[in-house]
């Protein structure tokens, strides 16, 4: 009896792990999902928040214009979202992860140096030109950098979730309330160095 119970427990846990591993946004059983007290017409499925970048000049700093669930409620249940990435000369989208989605990046103008690090600490880096695409697997640390000294760059990223989430590595580590001694020991450095990094991120 014990062995059958153990087997069933293992099977249940295995099934749960597999479900979590393959899941992103949950599948819906209707054509679309409406928040409570929402009137549906074509406006619900329309997002105009990206108009601001059409025929505009590049910003002075790296800028993201998002079309995710937070900005566009019509994405609820649709398992997709976008981000428009504007890279002035020499700008960087710093190290970050998307915990809930894979990212597929398409370079519309200019060029980008991009890369991600997998769980074996292997760096996969590539120089992308206009028209190129690159995939960043879900949950892995990655970056995009416009190393061109004269030309800005523009890219569009598609995500396999209406709410991919973005977690900055630097801010999560150094702008949190993690004890400085733990950070110093983790990075094999001194508390003074940790304080300088924290100060730089806050300025």
Residues in binding site for Mn(2+): 96, 98, 103, 142
Q: Which conformational region is residue 183 in: left (phi greater than 0), alpha (psi within -120 to 50 degrees), or beta? A: alpha
CA–CA distance, 75 with 158 (Å, rounded to integer)? 13
Q: Enter the tokens of residue 14.
A: 């295995």
Annotated binding site for oxalate: 93, 98, 103
Count of CB atoms situated within 10 Å of the CB of 180: 16
DSSP 3-state helix, strand, coil percentages of the chain (rounded to 5)?
30, 25, 45
- CA neighbor of 86 nearest in space, from 116, 125, 50, 38: 50
Annotated binding site: 93, 96, 98, 103, 142
């Amino acid at each position: 009896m014990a062995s059958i119970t153990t087997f069933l427990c293992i099977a249940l846990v295995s099934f749960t792990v597999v479900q979590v591993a393959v899941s992103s946004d949950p599948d819906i059983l209707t054509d679309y999902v409406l928040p409570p007290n929402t009137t549906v017409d074509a406006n619900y499925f329309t997002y105009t928040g990206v108009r601001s970048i059409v025929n505009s000049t590049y910003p002075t700093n790296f800028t993201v214009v998002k079309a995710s669930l937070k900005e566009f409620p019509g994405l609820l249940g649709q398992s997709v979202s976008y981000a428009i990435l504007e890279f002035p000369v020499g700008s960087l989208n710093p190290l970050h992860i998307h915990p809930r989605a894979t990212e597929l990046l398409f370079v519309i103008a200019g060029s980008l140096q991009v890369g991600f690090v997998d769980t074996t600490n292997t760096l996969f880096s590539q120089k992308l030109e206009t028209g190129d695409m690159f995939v960043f697997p879900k949950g892995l640390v990655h970056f995009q950098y416009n190393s061109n000294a004269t030309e800005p760059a523009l890219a569009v990223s598609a995500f396999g979730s209406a709410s991919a989430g973005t977690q900055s590595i630097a801010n999560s580590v150094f702008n949190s309330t993690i004890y400085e001694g733990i950070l110093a020991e983790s990075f094999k450095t001194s508390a003074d160095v940790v304080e300088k990094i924290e100060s730089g991120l806050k300025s």
